[in-house]
């Protein structure tokens, strides 16, 4: 039976940064990464990145493999502890900021650009004041934008850095976490093999968050109540948001709806970018990209509404899956609708979309009616926020504004963890988006460093 000092489950940002930290400061440790997808040089979508009909590969190359979903993401590194995750639950703000700066430096080392957005304090304060006068909360943040086209280059350099220093198993599922007397002792693979380890670090990413939830329940770990984030992707002419994106690149706005008092937020703003589809476990959802060396005429962003469920229901991931499946059922994939048609209570048609002033960047979305998919509460929150955003970005609430649905974030399950991100099972850690610890590249990467440093600390103390 094979034995490793550390097994890392998942090769997304959390798993990669965990491995980088271990090989930098504990070279003697024997480390294994197990990843269900392919290596970075073998990741490619057989149907052109989802632009044609999906053939439902066993593991989607767009979200699985070395780099995780981050390999095909917009590559925004948000350098604020208030954005992109929940690590302030486990440490003070200053400590988290220090770690954010640390991992940001590693991204730059491996090829992320030097340029930072959001450096003009006076301009950022002006945006904050404008938002405050209009019932919005603006969260200032410095952002380093890698670009969807450059993410693979950065991740390839990180792959080279660990090559030969850690073992990797690609296209291999972890079926079960092996526990003995409330201590993690290894994993069982899909082919039946069992590999033992001193520490098991779970970094499955959002693609396998459901698997982690199932394993957590089997191990009787405490799950925390969490919201589900459901909404749409909004597409407008880039000039509408340019006064804001020129200052901050990604304006993070939070709004509390008047009707329901729900938290509604903007997410993943892509200046001069394009709307894209994502395929996850048989479901199509919508997302957005922007690139370092090419531009469209549009800017897109998500509006997400967060809802906490109370007893007896506590299945946020299943609920989000249901909403996405309904959209796929009615639209054959992604539904697109003009805001004006939604407000008038009518479906969009190809002719109505063609008459609009916003040319869709996602060409194969199906014109339809999102009111048949999204519950009234979510639609009300989305429309309310667009009306408020109109005050700070005139033109955003236009009848020509395009809405794509649905956008669902499957990272809502969270496990009870210690400050070192250890579960209630000894030597079993949970990190990254799939564990509900993070919501973006930077905090996912930081979580990997936190777990690695705790392992290193224990090794130095003798286990």
pLDDT, tens digit, 9 for 90 and up, residues 414-436: 899 999 999 999 999 999 998 88
Confidence of residue 329 (pLDDT cuts 50, 70, 90): very high
Assign residue 366 a region (left: φ > 0; alpha: ψ between -120 and 50; beta: otherwise). beta
- Find the range with the poorest average confidence among 155-164, 176-185, 192-201, 316-325: 316-325
Which pLDDT score, from 0 to 100, does residue 178 have?
98
pLDDT(299) > 60: yes
Q: Cα separation of 85 and 407, whole Å?
A: 18
When pLDDT is cut at 50, 70 and 90, the band that residue 412 belongs to is: low
413 versus 444: the higher-pLDDT residue is 444
pLDDT at 361: 98
Asked whether the predicted pLDDT for residue 411 surpasses 60, the reply is: no
Backbone angles phi, psi at 301, to 5 degrees: -160, 160
Which of the four pLDDT bands, split at 50, 70 and 90, describes residue 187?
A: very high
Tens-digit pLDDT profile for residues 361-387: 999 999 999 999 999 999 999 999 999
User: Residue 59, Cβ neighbours under 10 Å: how many?
Assistant: 18
Q: How confident is the model at residue 213 (pLDDT cuts 50, 70, 90)?
A: confident
Half-sphere exposure of 43 (CA within 13 A, CB side): 29
CATH superfamily to which 3-125+142-223+415-460 belongs = FAD/NAD(P)-binding domain (3.50.50.60)
Domain boundaries, the chain: 3-125+142-223+415-460, 227-409
Name the average pLDDT for the chain.
Answer: 92
Residue 84 CA to residue 88 CA, distance in Å, equals 11
243 Cβ neighbours under 8 A, 6+ residues apart: 393
Q: What is the pTM of this model?
A: 0.88
| Exposed e or buried b per residue across 322-334, where buried means at least 16 C-beta atoms within 10 angstroms of its C-beta | ebbebbbebbebb
- pLDDT above 80 (res 63): no
pLDDT band at 55 (very low <50, low <70, confident <90, very high): low
- What's the distance, CA 413 to chain centroid? 13
* Averaged pLDDT for residues 229-251: 96
- In degrees rounded to 5, what are phi and psi of residue 264? -125, 140
Residues 6 or more apart from 367 whose CB is under 8 A from it?
335, 336, 337, 347, 348, 349, 350, 352, 353
Q: Are strands 167-170 and 31-35 parallel, antiparallel or unpaired?
A: parallel
46 by Cβ neighbours in 10 Å (0-12 / 13-18 / 19+) ranks as exposed
pLDDT of residue 52 exceeding 60: no
Which two three-digit tokens encode residue 348? Answer: 């969009």
| Tokens representing residue 318 in the block | 């299943």
pLDDT at 146 over 60: yes
> Over 60: is that where the pLDDT of 203 sits?
yes
Give the pairing type, strands 428-430 and 253-256.
unpaired
pLDDT at 282: 81
Confidence at residue 27, expressed as pLDDT on a 0 to 100 scale: 93
For residue 227, the model assigns a pLDDT of: 74
Confidence of residue 275 (pLDDT cuts 50, 70, 90): very high
pLDDT digits (tens, 9 = 90+) for 64-119: 899 988 777 889 999 999 999 999 999 999 999 999 999 999 999 999 999 999 99
**How buried is residue 181: exposed, middle or buried, by Cβ count under 10 Å (0-12/13-18/19+)?**
exposed
Closest CA to 279 of 53, 39, 42, 434: 53
Q: What is the largest CA-CA distance in the chain?
A: 70
The predicted pLDDT at position 47 comes to 64
Task: Say how far apart CA 335 and CA 370 lie, in whole Å.
Answer: 7
Q: Rounded to 5 degrees, what angle do the CA atoms 260, 264, 270 make?
A: 160
Q: Please tell me the least confidently modeled range out of 43-57, 328-342, 441-455.
A: 43-57
Report yes or no: 107 and 36 within 8 Å, Cβ to Cβ: no
pLDDT at position 392 over 80: yes
């Amino acid at each position: 039976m094979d034995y490793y000092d550390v097994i890392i489950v998942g090769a997304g940002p959390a798993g990669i940064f965990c491995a980088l930290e271990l090989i930098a400061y504990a070279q003697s440790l024997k480390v294994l990464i197990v990843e269900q997808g392919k290596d970075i040089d073998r990741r490619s979508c057989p149907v052109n990145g989802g632009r044609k009909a999906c053939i439902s590969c066993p593991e989607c190359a767009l979200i699985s493999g070395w780099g995780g979903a981050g390999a095909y993401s917009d590559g925004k590194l948000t350098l604020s502890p208030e954005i992109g995750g929940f690590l302030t639950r486990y440490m003070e703000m200053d400590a988290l900021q220090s770690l954010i700066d640390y991992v940001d430096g590693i991204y730059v080392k491996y090829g992320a650009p030097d340029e930072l957005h959001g450096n003009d304090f006076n301009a950022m304060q002006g945006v904050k004041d404008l938002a405050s006068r209009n019932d919005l909360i603006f969260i200032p943040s410095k952002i380093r934008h890698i670009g969807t086209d450059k993410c693979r280059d950065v991740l390839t350099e990180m792959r080279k850095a660990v090559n030969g220093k850690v073992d990797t198993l690609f296209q291999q599922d972890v079926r079960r976490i092996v526990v003995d007397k409330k201590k993690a002792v290894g994993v069982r693979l899909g082919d039946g093999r069992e590999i033992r380890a001193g520490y098991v670090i779970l970094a499955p990413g959002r693609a396998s968050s459901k698997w982690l939830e199932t394993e957590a329940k089997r191990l009787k770990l405490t799950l925390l109540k969490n919201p589900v984030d459901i909404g749409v992707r909004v597409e407008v002419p880039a000039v509408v948001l340019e006064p804001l994106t020129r200052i901050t690149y990604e304006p993070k706005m939070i709004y509390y709806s008047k009707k329901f008092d729900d938290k509604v937020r903007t997410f993943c703003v892509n200046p001069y970018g394009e709307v894209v589809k994502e395929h996850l476990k048989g479901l199509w959802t919508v997302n957005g990209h922007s690139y370092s060396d090419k531009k469209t005429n549009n800017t897109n962003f998500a509006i997400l509404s967060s809802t906490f469920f109370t007893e007896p229901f506590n299945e946020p991931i299943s609920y989000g899956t249901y909403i996405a499946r309904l959209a796929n059922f009615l639209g054959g994939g992604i539904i697109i609708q003009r805001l004006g048609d939604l407000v008038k209570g009518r479906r969009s048609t190809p002719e109505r979309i063609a008459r609009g002033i916003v040319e869709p960047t996602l060409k194969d979305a199906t014109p339809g009616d999102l009111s048949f998919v999204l519950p009234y509460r979510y639609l009300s929150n989305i429309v309310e926020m667009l009306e408020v955003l109109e005050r700070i970005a005139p033109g955003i609430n236009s009848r020509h504004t395009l809405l794509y649905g649905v956008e669902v974030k499957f990272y809502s399950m969270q496990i009870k963890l210690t400050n070192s991100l250890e579960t209630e099972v000894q030597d079993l850690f949970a990190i990254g988006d799939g564990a509900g610890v993070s919501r973006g590249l930077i905090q996912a990467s930081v979580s990997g460093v936190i777990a690695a440093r705790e392992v290193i600390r224990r090794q130095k103390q003798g286990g």
